[in-house]
Amino acid sequence: MYAPTALAQAETGSPDHQAQVASAAKQDHAQALKLARSGDFTKAADILAPYAKQPMAQVLMTGDYLVFLSWA
């Protein structure tokens, strides 16, 4: 299992919800890329999995998610 993503943490109902979600997405993407570059494709894919549930809204994240899955 993986730790809660920054997206999950940002969705707790803060006043700056949209800004936090965008920032969370950047943090999650950066963390996933770091893990993938170190060869941990499964954890990288786990981090991006929530974003892949909305592929048209999260095209970059979904693409990276699929790549990481194929390399895992």
- pLDDT score of 72: 78
Q: Which two tokens stand for residue 31?
A: 């963390």
Which residue, chain included where needed, has tokens 């109902």?
13
Determine the Cα–Cα distance for residues 61 and 63; give it in Å rounded to an integer: 5
Which residue, chain included where needed, has tokens 């950047």?
26
53 has pLDDT over 60 = yes
38 has pLDDT over 90 = yes
Which residue, chain included where needed, has tokens 């990276």?
64
Determine the Cα–Cα distance for residues 72 and 57; give it in Å rounded to an integer: 24
Higher pLDDT, 24 or 69: 69
> Which residues lie below 8 Å from residue 46, measured CB to CB, with a gap of 6+?
2
- pLDDT score of 33: 93
